[in-house]
Each structure stands twice: as structure tokens, then as C-alpha cells.
Amino acid sequence: MTGAFRMPPLFQRPLLDVKLGFALMCDRRVPLRSKLFAALLGFAITGIVEFLEVPVEGVLAAVVPILGIAGDFVLDGAELIAGPLLLANLLLPFIAPRATVERIRSERAAAAAGTLKAPIIDI
């Protein structure tokens, strides 16, 4: 009895796709307003996480002074750069116009399968 049970369309593709978000961020068809809104949301979420980490980092810096302070600078620096970028790429497929996202998703699927009908020329 194969093929009797089909997964709902929601579960046929990954819910959070960083590669799709990066492709959308680099694509000119996605409006700049959507890209900026995703980036601002990424910065806001990262800022909230940083604010919630302050008590833990303070205790760690007090308990292990040299290692705690150095680790605090390294982790905060990595979070402030990588955090908003990662979150913006995760959120952009939900923020960008649905038609554009589906078109880019289908182009990427066709390119991966090798069934691309016409070359994509981006100027």
C-alpha cells in the first residue's frame, strides 16, 4: 500500500530554509523594503537575546574574570554579526511577496534537478 498516505503540502519542504533566504536576499526581484524589514527584525531579535544574556554574562565574568570577559567579547561579536544575518535569511521567505518566493523556489528546484528549461540571465 505505497502512496496511500501523502504528507500535507506544509511538510513537503523545509519550514526554515537558510539557503532560500540567502537566495532571496541576493535576488533583485525581491523588494528592498522586504529585505530591510527582515534585517531589522533580525537586529531586534538579536538585541533582545543580548539583553537577556547580560545577567548570565555578568556572573560568568565575575566568576572567571579573564576568560569570562574575553569569552564575552568573542561571543557578543559573533552574535552581533552572524545573528542578524542568519535571522534575516530565515525570516525573509515569510516576509517577501509569496509569488516571488514561489518563483525563486521553483527556479532553484529546477536548477537542482537539471530540468531548467531556459537559462536565467540576470543583468
| Tens digits of pLDDT across the chain (123 residues) | 455 666 556 556 667 788 899 999 999 999 999 999 999 999 999 999 888 888 887 787 788 888 777 877 888 888 888 999 999 999 999 999 999 999 988 888 887 777 656 666 777
Residues 54 and 76: their CA atoms lie apart, in Å, by: 10
Q: How many CB atoms lie within 10 A of CB 20?
A: 20
Tell me which residue has cell 530540468: 115
